[in-house]
Amino acid sequence: MTTKENKKPPPSPPSSSSSTSGGGGTAMRVIVPLQGVVQGRGGLFLGSVIPCALYYLFQLYVKTRTRHRFNSPPTSPHSNSTPSPSHNNLPELSVHPRSLSRTHLSSPTPSAFLSGRAASLAADSPYYAGLYKAAENPYHEVDNPEGVIHLAVGDNKICVDLVEDWMEKNLSGAVLEEGGDFTGIGITGISGCQPFDGVMKLKVAVASFMSQAVDNSVFFNPSQMVITSGVDPAIEILSFCLADYGNAFLVPTPHSPSFDGAAKWRTGVEIVPVPCRSADNFNLNIAALDQAFNQAKKRGQKVRGIIITNPSNPVGNLLSHETLRSLLDFAREKNIHIISNEIYAGSTYGNEEFVSMAEILEVEDHDRERVHIVYGLSDDISVPSYKACVIYSCNKNVLAAAKKLARLSSISAPTQQLLTSMLSDARFMQNFIEINRLRLQKMCQAFVARLKQLGIECARSDGGFHCWADMSALMRSYSEKGELELWDRLLNVAKINVTPGTSCHCIEPGWFGFCFTLLSEKDIPVVVERLQRISEATK
């Protein structure tokens, strides 16, 4: 009853006000359109429409503003989490790959659109800048003694002579197959019928070689292999298989500079650094891993796996049995993958024994699905430009997908043929691995000792091709900027191209990677003498 009475009043006020206020009232309404709201008339309708509209416009504004910022999600998270590595500081080393504004700058013409991701690759990190510079003006003892000595790429030149000898003896047989009959590769190899992921013959040879490299403690199944044209595509294919756009991998730093490209560029996967410190000799710390995982989770990132390098690159230390086990436990607990990059497995020289992830898996059977091993065939046998690498996985789905993706980075028939016959020559391989180990050890010791005389300490290493040297004493300021400034001096004044720690996302400034396997013994004094110049100039 009361409602009935109440219903009447609301419609009446507008009519009464308009009738009573006359001309002045209408003028007011025209001038102050919100009057109705202020006075509570038409409240329901306007009161809901106006705030909604305002809110909507606000959202729109926020969205357009954030869109610009969203262009660089893969790079921004890690620069947030680690204070030092955002190599923005040297002006000529353009960084922050994914900024929209640069896209427009680099293609200023009205010409057709280039993809945002293409433009994002325009920038070069110091690592690549150094490579180009060294390639332009390479050092040669006689021809170009003032050239740049190149110590930044993980190549092994130490045993090239052995491979050369083998080639000389076996070349025609290797490529032309038994009896010099080319139709061998002719039909099976040249035709597209050949599987993109490598011929079985090569896989069998690789399996036995890999077993040999870990002292026959593990049996590798050739049918669980996918052969790709190099380490980068192998890592990329695994990233494509294991993570979606915007997901993340945990990677202990310092890590190889090429990971950024391999894991991130095309896949859109992000790298969450797990900083390792000099106090632990840059060994991986599970607590740091856990912390990085939780922080990433808090930021809303989905972590899909861990990428470890063992023996690590650039430091060269080995992951112990216990660390590998606890890594596996960690991965199981978080239900994520492990990519174990073992490209230097055959190039260990220290006292510590190398333990492959595969050995751990022999025992821990139920975790096989989540572990994927990358093995760099060509690096271990001194022929990196042969571009051969193996993905070894027990996960059927990953293998199936990787086999299909291998069509986009497949290894060529002559190379397969060559590698097959080289790897099948068991006596040569045995001999090669032994000599290689001895020479690595000798060279590393000699180089580290000479650096020590200059007051430069190296992290302890047992494998790989690098010395990880602490040159923080030579920096003018203890910061990333100081490091890059020193790198610049090394490259342009001393003419030595090394890998700065920043490029490896090392959390402590002042560390540099020297690839000692590119040197011969008589080159060492030249390098040391050039370093001495820098060290004197600093003092």
Our finding on whether 33 is near other proteins (CB under 8 A) is no
Choose between 384 and 510: whose C-beta lies nearer to other proteins: 384
Rg of the Cα trace of the chain?
31
Choose between 71 and 340: whose C-beta lies nearer to other proteins: 71
Choose between 176 and 286: whose C-beta lies nearer to other proteins: 176
Our finding on whether 388 is near other proteins (CB under 8 A) is yes
- Pick from 29, 73, 89, 528 the residue near other proteins by CB under 8 A: 73
Choose between 303 and 475: whose C-beta lies nearer to other proteins: 303
467: region left, alpha or beta (phi > 0 left; psi from -120 to 50 alpha): beta
Our finding on whether 463 is near other proteins (CB under 8 A) is no
Choose between 265 and 330: whose C-beta lies nearer to other proteins: 265
Our finding on whether 105 is near other proteins (CB under 8 A) is no
Could you tell me how many residues of this chain bind other proteins (CB under 8 A)?
134
What minimum distance in Å lies between the beta carbon of 112 and other proteins? 4
Coil, helix or strand at residue 333:
helix
Encoded tokens for 428: 């040569």
- Pick from 296, 518, 527, 531 the residue near other proteins by CB under 8 A: 518
Encoded tokens for 331: 């991965």
Query: Which residue carries 């494998």 as its tokens?
Result: 463
Our finding on whether 131 is near other proteins (CB under 8 A) is yes
**Phi and psi for 343 in degrees, rounded to 5?**
-70, -20
Choose between 113 and 427: whose C-beta lies nearer to other proteins: 113
Our finding on whether 119 is near other proteins (CB under 8 A) is yes
* DSSP letter string, 254-323: S--THHIIIIIITT--EEEEEE--GGGTT---HHHHHHHHHHHHHTT--EEEEEEESS-TTT-----HHH
* Residues 6+ away with beta carbon under 8 Å from 405: 237, 240, 241
What minimum distance in Å lies between the beta carbon of 191 and other proteins? 5
Torsion sign over Cα 71, 73, 79, 81: positive
- Pick from 33, 51, 145, 525 the residue near other proteins by CB under 8 A: 51
* Residues in 245-264 at the binding interface with other proteins, rule: CB under 8 A: 245-247, 258, 261-262
Our finding on whether 80 is near other proteins (CB under 8 A) is no
Of 524, 521, 515, 503, give the one whose Cα is nearest residue 154: 515
Stretch that binds other proteins, among 39-47, 285-293, 446-454, 526-534 (CB under 8 A): 39-47
Query: Which residue carries 């199981």 as its tokens?
Result: 332
* Residues in 2-31 at the binding interface with other proteins, rule: CB under 8 A: 2-3, 5-7, 9-10, 12-13, 16-17, 20
Q: How far is Cα 374 from Cα 369, in angstroms, rounded to an integer?
A: 15
Q: Residue 240 to residues 76, 170, 261, 398, 410: CA-CA distances in angstroms?
A: 21, 38, 13, 10, 16
What minimum distance in Å lies between the beta carbon of 119 and other proteins? 7
- Pick from 197, 236, 483, 508 the residue near other proteins by CB under 8 A: 236
